């Protein structure tokens, strides 16, 4: 149950209310919280290992293509639990307290997340951090960024993510910027024959014909990192703040974005010691969810 909760916007209190409204005895809040803490910790471990396997697989793909194993194309973007611009004119501080920075590979058509960096300024024992006896209170602090630091520093998150990939043998070029303009000069001309003009028109119509434009008119965003950020927002909505299980929920969302809703739930349930029995009704329904998701991906 905790695996499913980590991939929806509902919290523990919401689940208790649904169970009680259905005249179903609900577990205690403390018991559910302890269970969530243990499960989300295992989810984070599983997804981190999964992303490491993906990076290894990318090296294999490069080798099969005859390219340098250490060179991969990536894109990155960050998201926050509160928009950074929402504090303009209201406070000198940044209103966000949690951030996720995802790095997505651009080598394959799947565009899988290769690394995730989470920054969290919150801890349920935050008021005790000034106490010199905090270590004796058995506090598993979830805060990994001080309040005085800038949470909007995506360069720091990108450097941390790329440094991890560099430690695994990946490399980057010294100057990734395009030295020359990507646009053709105004004086550029093509002396095409009639046959070449016909072939060029076919190529243009292949992508820009009315039928193709109608099929892709809703695809206004091509960045996979933005897509992953929206999936993270599902697990970490702005209406709820998860100080303890922020990292686990973020990793669960990335797992869902990588493998799909059905495969992700089955893999995470297996990692927490509650595997879905093959051939069961639950397994069948999860396969149906996965199939619907994959069909929507091809539309």
pLDDT in tens, 112-170: 999 999 999 888 776 555 555 555 456 677 888 888 888 888 899 999 998 988 888 88
> pLDDT category, 258, cuts 50, 70, 90?
very high
* Lookup: tokens for 220: 């206004």
d(CA 61, CA 57): 6
The mean per-residue pLDDT over the stretch 28-50 comes to 93
Q: What are phi and psi of 71, to 5 degrees?
A: -105, 120
**Residue 75 has what pLDDT?**
86
pLDDT in tens, 224-251: 888 899 999 999 998 888 888 999 999 9
Tell me the domain boundaries of the chain.
Answer: 2-172+226-272
**Residue 32 has what pLDDT?**
92
* Burial class, 257, CB count within 10 angstroms (exposed 0-12 / middle 13-18 / buried 19+): buried
Say which residue the tokens 């292949």 belong to.
206
* Lookup: tokens for 137: 């209170």
d(CA 165, CA 257): 20
**Residue 113 has what pLDDT?**
93
The Cα angle at residue 42 between residues 36 and 45, in degrees rounded to 5: 140
**Residue 233 has what pLDDT?**
92
Q: What are phi and psi of 136, to 5 degrees?
A: -85, -10
- The DSSP bridge partners found for residue 103 are 76, 115
CA separation (Å) from 180 to 40, 109, 173, 183, 264? 47, 27, 17, 9, 43
pLDDT score of 107 more than 80: yes
The mean per-residue pLDDT over the stretch 206-216 comes to 83
Phi-psi region of 66 (alpha: psi -120 to 50; beta: other; left: phi over 0): left
> pLDDT category, 180, cuts 50, 70, 90?
low
The single-letter DSSP state of residue 244 is S
Give Rg (Cα) of the chain. Answer: 23
* Lookup: tokens for 75: 């894109």
């Amino acid at each position: 149950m905790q695996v499913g909760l980590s991939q929806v916007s509902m919290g523990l209190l919401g689940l208790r209310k649904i169970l009680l409204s259905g005249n179903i005895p609900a577990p205690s809040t403390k018991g559910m919280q302890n269970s969530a803490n243990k499960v989300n910790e295992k989810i984070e471990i599983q997804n981190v290992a999964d992303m490491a396997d993906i990076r290894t697989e990318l090296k294999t793909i490069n080798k099969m293509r005859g390219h340098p194993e250490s060179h991969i194309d990536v894109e990155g973007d960050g998201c926050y639990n509160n928009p950074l611009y929402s504090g303009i004119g209201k406070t000198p501080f940044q209103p966000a307290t949690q951030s996720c920075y995802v790095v997505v590979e651009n080598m394959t058509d799947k565009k899988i997340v290769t690394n995730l960096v989470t920054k969290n300024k919150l801890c349920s024992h935050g008021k005790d951090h000034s106490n010199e006896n905090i270590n004796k209170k058995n506090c598993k602090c979830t805060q990994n960024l001080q309040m005085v630091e800038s949470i909007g520093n995506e360069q720091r998150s990108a450097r941390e993510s790329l440094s991890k990939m560099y430690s695994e043998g990946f490399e980057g070029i010294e100057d990734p910027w395009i030295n020359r303009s990507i646009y053709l000069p105004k004086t550029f001309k093509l002396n095409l024959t009639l046959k070449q003009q016909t072939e060029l028109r076919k190529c243009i119509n292949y992508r820009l014909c009315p039928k193709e434009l109608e099929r892709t008119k809703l695809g206004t965003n091509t960045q996979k990192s933005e897509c992953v950020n929206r999936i993270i927002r599902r697990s970490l909505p702005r209406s709820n703040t998860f100080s303890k299980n922020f990292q686990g929920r973020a990793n669960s969302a990335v797992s869902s974005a990588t493998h799909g809703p059905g495969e992700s739930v089955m893999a995470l349930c297996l990692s927490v010691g509650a595997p879905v029995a093959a051939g069961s009704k639950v397994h069948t329904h999860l396969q149906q969810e996965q199939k619907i998701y994959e069909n929507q991906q091809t539309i």
